[in-house]
Amino acid sequence: MKENRQNKKQKEDNVDPNKPKKPASSFFRFSREERKKLVEERPGINNSTINALISLKWKELIEEEKQVWNNQAAEAMEAYKKEMKEYNKTAAENQNNINK
């Protein structure tokens, strides 16, 4: 068990801080907004209750409402792909410069 934690920690240490972060999914975007509302409406509510309420609200959304969140996630993913393409290009150039 300790080995797994150590391996995970080593992998985390090797992550480039300049690498773009993958964007949140439509559900997680929705979840962030709903969590803010629920915490304001019900101070002291615990996380498991919040998660259950958010999940229920998501399931109750009609397709058009979900589509708004899906569109936001898709736009963010397209931006991420462009950033990753540029990041990979720069990383490859840097690697080539190191190898020279």
pLDDT tens profile 51-79: 999 999 999 999 999 999 999 999 999 99
Report the predicted TM-score, pTM, of the whole model to 2 decimal places: 0.75
The pLDDT assigned to 92 comes to: 73
Q: Output the CA torsion 15→20→24→29 (10° steps).
A: 120
Residue 3 has pLDDT above 70, yes or no: no
Residue (of 15, 16, 22, 28) closest to 79 by Cα position = 22
